[in-house]
Chain A
Amino acid sequence: MINWLMQIVTLTRFSLGTVPQRKGAATAAAVGIGGVVAVLVGVLSIAEGFRAAMATTGDDDLVIVLRSGADSEMTSGLSREETRLIADAPGVARTADGPLASSELFVIINLLKRSTGTDANVPLRGVTNGAAVRGDIEIVEGRAFEPGRNEVMVGVGAARAFAGLEVGGRIRVAQVDWEVVGVFKGGGGAAESEIWTDAAVLQPAFQRGDSFQSVTARLTSPSAFATFKDALTTNPRLQVKVFKQSEYLAEQSSMLTGFIQSIGVFIAAMMALGAVFGALNTMFSAVAARAREMATLRALGFGSSPIIISVLLESVILAVAGGGAGALASYLAFDGFQAATINWQSFSQVAFAFSVTPPLLVFAILWAVAIGIVGGLFPAIRAARMPVATALREV
């Protein structure tokens, strides 16, 4: 047993020692695997970051009410009468100015992306009481829009991503120019990707009459949710469904998160296939180049299984080195990287940060190990199967 381990150690040291002589091919394989891992980590960190952005935006006191049957604000519709009933429901927090509820319109407009110069969708939200309800909206530049005027304020994420969204800028929406008067933070991550204006101005611009799409309200406490929900769902004059804001956002993002994850795995699988062939190629040529040395060792009495294991180990070590470098590179490149992507349910832009988490890195390294094993197995078996006398002849 000791003997057998010694054989493996010797053979592995030997084969690793020859790596510098095979720099080119070995580097190519390691880089290939590193690339796979980098892309995998990169893509999955998008899903991870997106999920994190969506999960942290929810505030437990906040609720959103949609028409029953609608699965997003886009497809929802509520009359003014309905929004009034919702605002007056039990459980909604109140101030001297009335209930903390905002009736909102939600439309999608097209703006030029700064990064690509192409059009992309941005949500434009008309609010009646949006900032007060959310409580954490903070103007970081300029001022809030004035009710009744064609003015907008923009979330910092949107301001960063789209051209013309700086204070003093103008955007043309529904044949009218709107002036950008302020930039805001807060409202959870989601609102920062939006443009806000007065609902009363947005209604005529988009021929919405006196209707809205959703109501966002603040409850007196998270425990008031059941009372609030019961009151709305049992009211025969309302056909609505009620979400905690956190649940709503998680649901909105789940499809996208899943989509990004499956794309990530798909791209990584394709690249992995390429890397496996690269690794196979390297290992085959490594084994071929060392056929005489391997044959010599076997002639001296070294066993086949230590040879197989040493070739596999070499392949795995190369893969882990490449994969580790790839993971590190993508961590440095992607972690915390600010990005915006499309929310496929509303087809609008959502700003978020890539998030490279430790489990993600472990997962990626495991991929590298798997690639290394698959890449090393066949050359290893070939190396060990070849008759010694034949191998010795292959100078």
Chain B
Amino acid sequence: MSERNGALVHIERVNKTFRRGAEEIHILSQLNLEVPQGEFLALMGPSGSGKTTLLNLIGGLDRPTSGSVRIGGDSIDQMSNRRLAAWRARHIGLVFQFYNLLPVLTAERNVELPLLLTGLSSSQRRRHVEAALSVVGLTHRAKHYPRTLSGGEQQRTGIARAIVTDPTLLLCDEPTGDLDRKSGDEILALLQALNREHGKTIIMVTHDPHASARATRTVYLDKGRLSSEKPE
């Protein structure tokens, strides 16, 4: 999966502009980023700086206006929507701030969703779901519906869903943004364990210095560019 130089994520001279009426707003300009395999990267920056936008580009949820986005050797900025969807299913695990669980499905059915896009039999799927739920410590809540789970439990369900297909890359957009300190810490510890013990490459957007402290590296996004120094 990794390239010659060892980077899993390889972003070069990426520009992203949005059109708001007649106005063009430049969110990312000539941005470069390399994330090696096995890194736990924290992405920080002021609100509206484009963190989510960058994460979307890496996850193949959006396309750059120009520049190249290569993940594990795949140039995802060149792919058709159809191929991109299949690529996401195969390589990306997504964790959302508001969990984005389907309210009508139990925790285990939510976790099973990404597996429906694979060729696995239902017994294989059940095994994978059990494994993922046990990693996040939610085996006893498998049959619960999201509304009966605490925020922390919902987020752990979300993480189980993200890792159930054993993706190449885990992308988390403010995974603790909606949680209290204690639940947030548990989630961060879980992500850290996934990184250290399971070797997951993780990119996590966060506003919280506490959270970034758990990461192996922190980068700051401001005025369309990345730096390793916290801006003024």
* A residues with CB within 8 A of B: 2-3, 6-7, 10, 14, 17-18, 21, 292-293, 296-304, 387-389, 392-393, 395
Verify B100–A292 contact, CB threshold 8 A. yes
The CA of A14 and the CA of B104, in the complex, are separated in Å by: 7
Q: Does B94 touch A at the CB level, under 8 Å?
A: yes
From residue A384, how far is it (CB to closest CB) to chain B in Å? Answer: 10
Q: Besides A301-B117, A303-B85, 11 other CB < 8 A contacts?
A: A2-B119, A3-B119, A14-B105, A297-B102, A300-B113, A300-B114, A301-B90, A303-B82, A389-B56, A389-B61, A392-B100
Can you list 27 pairs linking A and B with CB atoms under 8 Å apart? Answer: A2-B119, A3-B116, A10-B116, A17-B104, A18-B103, A18-B104, A21-B103, A21-B104, A293-B103, A297-B113, A299-B94, A300-B88, A300-B89, A301-B86, A301-B89, A301-B90, A304-B85, A388-B61, A388-B62, A389-B53, A389-B56, A389-B62, A392-B56, A392-B96, A392-B100, A393-B52, A395-B98
Verify B104–A3 contact, CB threshold 8 A. no
What is the size, in residues, of chain B's interface with A at 8 Å between Cβ atoms?
29
Residue numbers in A under 8 Å from B105 (CB-CB): 14, 17
Residue numbers in A under 8 Å from B52 (CB-CB): 393
Q: Which of B53, B96, B116, B117 contacts A296 (CB 8 A)?
A: B96
Q: Is the interface of A mostly helix, strand, loop or mixed?
A: helix
Verify A293–B102 contact, CB threshold 8 A. yes
From residue B77, how far is it (CB to closest CB) to chain A in Å? Answer: 14
Q: Considering the complex, give the chain A residue whose CB is closest to the CB of B117.
A: A301
Known A388-B61, A392-B61: A301·B88 in contact at CB below 8 Å: yes
Residue numbers in B under 8 Å from A10 (CB-CB): 113, 116
Q: Considering the complex, give the chain B residue whose CB is closest to the CB of A393.
A: B52
Pairs A-B, 6 closest by C-beta atoms = A301-B89, A17-B104, A389-B62, A296-B100, A301-B88, A389-B56
From residue B142, how far is it (CB to closest CB) to chain A in Å? Answer: 18
Residue numbers in A under 8 Å from B118 (CB-CB): 3
Verify A300–B102 contact, CB threshold 8 A. no
Q: Does B30 touch A at the CB level, under 8 Å?
A: no
Q: Does B124 touch A at the CB level, under 8 Å?
A: no
Residue numbers in A under 8 Å from B119 (CB-CB): 2-3
Known A7-B116, A10-B113, A392-B61: A301·B85 in contact at CB below 8 Å: yes
The CA of A297 and the CA of B94, in the complex, are separated in Å by: 11
Q: Considering the complex, give the chain B residue whose CB is closest to the CB of A4.
A: B117
Q: Does B81 touch A at the CB level, under 8 Å?
A: yes
Verify B98–A304 contact, CB threshold 8 A. no
Verify B117–A302 contact, CB threshold 8 A. yes
Q: Which of A18, A302, A392 contacts B85 (CB 8 A)?
A: A302
Verify B100–A293 contact, CB threshold 8 A. yes
Q: Which of A14, A300, A388 contacts B117 (CB 8 A)?
A: A300
Residue numbers in A under 8 Å from B53 (CB-CB): 389
